[in-house]
């Protein structure tokens, strides 16, 4: 069954970028996979489509001329026109549920990777995140772009794994199954 | 060498209590120590004194008639008068550096345990936290009392260990040694 997944690095105090979109605190020493950690390439192997907000798209695009997501369809949630030099990128809009359904369809039976603070938060609020894979960096930034935000109700997960990834620790949590009636 | 240590449970989104000081999300299934996790009793064995804010003291005191900290001296940072039924509790005030020095003195060569969001934050801002032992609960609360707050500059740590503790994962980080000149 195709899943909605989050794969992201965060500081211990829950930021995905420091002030002014600073990413200099992200370690570059992460070996692809150590003692069971899920490396980015292995993660992407099961991903059929990505969903990200416009801001995340623009930050990703500005970081490097190279495109990290290969042929994977990338849906960018935006209400404005989007011109991209990447042929696999397209603009989408609608409710979070509709966006996720569109992404699942685009994924053709494989998983959807939700990226960026805003989209992750909206997917969590909608109760649609099946897997949270957070790679914790041992730094406190004290400010920046938060990974998490307010929720109308608690979201419960279960830890499936924890593993080292270079100097980081990856926490792998899956959505807690609903209580049996 | 005596250390300043933080030992605390937090939700994945960084809260130490939910709205209205809700603690019902804290698991009660944590075995004392599994696969190397540091249980509370083992942690307390090296602690010579505690430092907490008044609000934390009052929440702790209201939770149970029992007192969790035995004979350990407990310094409560407050500018108001403090009457406690616990003989090992005393009020202290001053700058964070002075509070920590007082606590280290009270600890008699053993470690200082800084507890509660406000004191932890102040100790981090002062750059005085040697060890952060955070037991992550796999839940997103979406609001409540945050563990971390704004910092004037980054604080860097190194992961020493990660281990399961019941349904939780404990992250054990130590302060990153200063760069050699």
Q: Which residue of B has its CA nearest to A152?
A: B142
Mean pLDDT within A92-113: 98
Q: Mutate which of B10, B22, B154 to disrupt the A interface (most A C-beta within 10 Å)?
A: B154
Give yes or no for A173 touching B (CB within 8 A). Answer: yes
**pLDDT surpasses 80 at B82:** yes
CA dist., res. B89 & res. B69, Å (int): 10
CA dist., res. B16 & res. B8, Å (int): 8
pLDDT of residue A91: 97
Query: Nearest CA to CA, how far is B47 from chain A (Å)?
Result: 24
pLDDT of residue B32: 59
Q: Considering the domain boundaries, does residue B169 fall inside one?
A: yes
**pLDDT surpasses 60 at A29:** yes
CATH label of the domain that carries residue B130: 3.40.430.10
Give yes or no for A26 touching B (CB within 8 A). Answer: no
| Domain assignment of residue A119, given as a range | 4-15+34-175
Task: Give the contacts of B132 (CB within 8 A, at least 6 positions apart).
Answer: A12, B5, B6, B157, B171, B172, B173, B174
Give yes or no for A149 touching B (CB within 8 A). Answer: yes
List of chain B residues whose C-beta atoms are within 8 Å of the C-beta of residue A127 = none
Residue from the list B139, B154, B173 with its beta carbon closest to the beta carbon of A156:
B139
Residue B128: both structure tokens together: 């005085």
Residue ranges of A 35-64 with Cβ closer than 8 A to chain B = none
Give A90: exposed, middle or buried? Use CB within 10 Å, 0-12, 13-18, 19+.
Answer: middle
Q: Considering the domain boundaries, does residue A62 fall inside one?
A: yes
A9 by DSSP, 3-state: which? strand
pLDDT above 70 as % of chain A:
95
Give yes or no for A175 touching B (CB within 8 A). Answer: no
Examine the predicted complex and report whether its ipTM is higher than 0.85: yes
Single out the residue of B23, B54, B174, B178 nearest to residue B122, CA to CA: B54
pLDDT above 90 as % of chain B:
82
Task: Give the contacts of A173 (CB within 8 A, at least 6 positions apart).
Answer: A131, A132, A133, A134, A157, A158, A159, A160, B12, B138
Q: Considering the domain boundaries, does residue B81 fall inside one?
A: yes
Residue from the list B13, B151, B167 with its beta carbon closest to the beta carbon of A140:
B151
Q: Are the C-beta atoms of B32 and B160 separated by less than 8 Å? A: no
Give yes or no for A100 touching B (CB within 8 A). Answer: no
Q: Considering the domain boundaries, does residue B20 fall inside one?
A: no
Query: Nearest CA to CA, how far is B115 from chain A (Å)?
Result: 16
Q: Considering the domain boundaries, does residue A22 fall inside one?
A: no
Give yes or no for A117 touching B (CB within 8 A). Answer: no
Q: Considering the domain boundaries, does residue A142 fall inside one?
A: yes
List of chain B residues whose C-beta atoms are within 8 Å of the C-beta of residue A25 = 154
Helix axes A117-125, A54-63, angle to 10 degrees: 150
Q: Are the C-beta atoms of A145 and A21 separated by less than 8 Å? A: yes
Mean pLDDT within B18-28: 91
Q: Considering the domain boundaries, does residue A52 fall inside one?
A: yes
- Number of domains composing chain B: 1
> Over the stretch A34-61, which tens digit does the pLDDT of each residue have?
678 999 999 999 999 999 999 999 988 9
Q: B151 vs A134: CB contact, 8 Å cut-off?
A: no
Q: A154 vs B139: CB contact, 8 Å cut-off?
A: yes
The size of chain B, in residues, is 181
CA torsion through residues A58, A60, A63, A65, sign: negative
Which of A49-58, A124-133, B42-51, B171-180 has the weakest average pLDDT? B171-180
Q: Considering the domain boundaries, does residue A146 fall inside one?
A: yes
Give yes or no for A153 touching B (CB within 8 A). Answer: yes
pLDDT classification of A63: cutoffs 50, 70, 90: confident
Residue ranges of A 122-141 with Cβ closer than 8 A to chain B = 124, 132, 134, 136, 138-141
Q: A169 vs B171: CB contact, 8 Å cut-off?
A: yes
């Amino acid at each position: 069954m195709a899943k909605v997944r989050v794969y992201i690095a965060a500081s211990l105090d829950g930021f995905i970028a420091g002030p002014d979109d600073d990413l200099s605190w992200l370690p570059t020493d992460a070996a692809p996979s150590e003692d069971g950690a899920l490396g980015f390439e292995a993660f992407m192997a099961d991903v059929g489509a990505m969903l990200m907000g416009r801001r995340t798209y623009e930050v990703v695009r500005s970081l490097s001329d190279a495109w990290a997501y290969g042929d994977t369809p990338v849906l960018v949630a935006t209400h404005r026109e989007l011109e991209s030099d990447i042929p696999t990128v397209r603009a989408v809009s609608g409710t979070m549920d509709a966006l996720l359904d569109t992404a699942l369809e685009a994924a053709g039976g494989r998983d959807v990777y939700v990226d960026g603070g805003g989209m992750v938060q909206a997917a969590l609020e909608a109760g649609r995140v099946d897997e949270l894979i957070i790679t914790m960096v041992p730094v406190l930034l004290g400010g920046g772009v938060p990974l998490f935000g307010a929720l109308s109700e608690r979201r419960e997960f279960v830890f499936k794994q924890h593993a080292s990834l270079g100097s980081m620790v990856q926490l792998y949590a899956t959505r807690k199954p609903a209580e049996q009636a």
